[in-house]
Copies of this chain bind each other. A is one copy, B any other.
């Protein structure tokens, strides 16, 4: 980033610029410096544009640009596009990218109007609108980068934490952004005909509902009567628990000091960050559908069924292996890298695991250790953000693209498991 991006007028260090650009493009939201106090307005707008580009995806924009110039889209470009939004068919990609773009701007617009009701009276018309647009985009793209350093540095949305308007609007934008384009399309097409939904849509909605309701309840119980909830009335406590249950998947705003939460809540937030959003969205993590498949393997064993069944559909055994692979990949990466950072920086595993999961799942929540990390640790976090954004599976596929699928002919041998 250029010197003009920096508030002090001097050029930001290369590491700071690289870290922030990666964080914005990968819509993670981990920052080495408070966005408001460190970067100038120009720098902030650059960050905002990076978020928007990162959020709706390089591919969507590229395809849209191609559509506007009326060039023909080749099959390989369509394939690439398909991978980035995880669509099951190749057809209709161009139509869908238009749909994605219009949906994005529509929801961001609505969010900005609602947020403006909060910011304009407090910051005046110009600055208020700027804040409303910035935070609406940042929430919808699940970036979680904020400008609230105006009130107090690195405070995220704590200042506005007790406002129902801000809390519910931001949470709504996060949820809509996080369920993914494929679900929007299905909902728009079938409206309330729930039976006609795709299996994917049903799984996403089911898992999202459980995670939000369960997460809110658990955080509420864990924090009941604890210092983090001091001075809040019952409604504000519920709002606070709700917001903290929504934000780990995978926005990265917080309306409460995360260091004040109990260990149980922090562990729950790590789990929620790990799960993340839904395929075909701006969110990261192993994804809700993956989690649902993994949990359902227990249910399948319980029922002694041969196949995993859900909503009267059978899930392929390949999907189980994919899910398993993703979880192991994410799990080993986050635990391994947090061990490395913990050893290098002499920090507790809780903090470093929170930070690495946050980076890998592009969440951006932090227990506050990121600004103080050394270069090696920051590079590890950058790599994690990048891996998390591009997606574990995509990397694995790219890695071995030239090898064709070889059917195995080896004899089976039984193995004892457990």
Report, as a range, how many residues of chain A touch the other chain: 35 or more
Question: Are A418 and B326 touching (Cβ within 8 A)?
Answer: yes
The answer to the question of A325 belonging to the interface, with a C-beta cut-off of 8 Å to chain B, is: yes
Does A163 sit at the interface, judged by CB under 8 A? no
Q: Which of A313-364 contact B (CB under 8 A)?
A: 313-326, 328-329, 332, 335, 338-339, 342-343, 347-350, 352-353
Contact at A349–B266, with CB atoms within 8 Å?
A: yes
User: Could you tell me the distance in whole angstroms from the C-beta of A22 to the nearest C-beta in chain B?
Assistant: 20
Q: Does A192 have its Cβ within 8 Å of any Cβ on chain B?
A: no
A195 at the interface (CB under 8 A from B): no
> Nearest Cβ distance between residue A138 and chain B, in whole angstroms?
24
Bound-state Cα–Cα, A293 to B328, Å: 11
A308 touches B322 (CB 8 A): no
Q: Does A290 contact B (CB under 8 A)?
A: yes
Convert A72-111 into 0s and 1s, putting 1 for each residue whose CB lies closer than 8 angstroms to a CB of B: 0000000000000010100000000000000000000000
Contacting pair B289 A417 (CB below 8 A): yes
Asked if A389 CB lies within 8 Å of chain B CBs, one says no
Per assembly, the copies of the chain total: 2
The answer to whether A320 touches B313, judged by C-beta atoms less than 8 angstroms apart, is no
**Contact of A300 with B321 in the complex, beta carbons under 8 Å:** yes
A187 at the interface (CB under 8 A from B): no
Verify A319–B406 contact, CB threshold 8 A.
Answer: no
Complex: how many Å from CA A302 to CA B400? 6
Contact A416 B200 (CB under 8 A): yes
Stretch of A242-250, A252-260, A279-287, A371-379 with 4 or more beta carbons under 8 angstroms from chain B: A279-287
Q: How far is the CA of A203 from the CA of B416 in the complex (A)?
A: 10
Contact partner of A416 (CB less than 8 A), chosen from B86, B320, B414, is B86
Q: Looking at the complex, which one of B268, B326, B342 makes contact with A264 (CB distance below 8 Å)?
A: B342
Q: What CA separation (Å) do A415 and B280 show in the bound complex? A: 12
A313 touches B418 (CB 8 A): no
Contact, CB under 8 Å: B339 / A416: no
Q: What is the 8 Å Cβ interface bit string for chain A, positions 284-306, against chain B (1 contact, 0 not)?
A: 00110110011101101111111
Interface contact A416-B304, CB-CB below 8 Å = no
Q: How far is the CA of A328 from the CA of B286 in the complex (A)?
A: 14
Q: Given A182-B416, A306-B407, A407-B306, answer yes or no on A321-B317 (Cβ-Cβ < 8 Å).
A: yes
Q: Whole-angstrom distance from the CB of A347 to the nearest CB of chain B? A: 8
Given known pairs A297-B328, A328-B295, A418-B392, the reply for A321 and B308 (CB within 8 Å) is yes
Q: Which residues of B contact A316 (CB under 8 A)?
A: 412, 414-415
A233 within 8 A of B: no
A268 interface neighbour in B222, B287, B309, B339, Cβ under 8 Å = B339
User: A298 with B328: in contact, given A314-B412, A417-B293 (CB under 8 Å)?
Assistant: yes
Q: Which of B198, B328, B353, B410 contacts A294 (CB 8 A)?
A: B328
Q: Assuming the A-B contacts A324-B297, A399-B302, A408-B314, are A349 and B415 also in contact, with contact meaning beta carbons closer than 8 angstroms in the complex? A: no
Whether B301 and A325, one on each chain, are in contact in the complex, defined by CB atoms closer than 8 angstroms, is yes
Is the CB of A267 closer than 8 A to any CB of chain B? yes
Closest beta carbon of chain B to A300's beta carbon, Å: 7
Alpha-carbon gap, A324 to B327, bound state (A) = 10
A43 to chain B, nearest CB (A): 33
What B residues does A123 contact at CB under 8 A?
none
Q: A404 contacts B304, CB within 8 Å? A: yes
Measured CB to CB, the nearest residue on chain B to A263 is B349
Give the residue of B306, B324, B392 whose beta carbon is less than 8 angstroms from that of A408.
B306
Which residues of B sit under 8 angstroms from A400, Cβ to Cβ? Answer: 302-304
List 10 other contacts, CB 8 Å, given A301-B325, A315-B413, A316-B415: A200-B415, A263-B348, A264-B349, A294-B328, A298-B325, A305-B408, A314-B410, A314-B412, A317-B320, A319-B414
Could you give 14 example pairs across A and B, Cβ below 8 Å? A222-B339, A263-B342, A266-B349, A286-B418, A298-B396, A301-B321, A304-B397, A304-B405, A308-B321, A315-B412, A319-B417, A326-B418, A350-B350, A391-B418
For the complex of A and B, 3 pairs with smallest distance between CB atoms: A279-B416, A263-B349, A307-B408
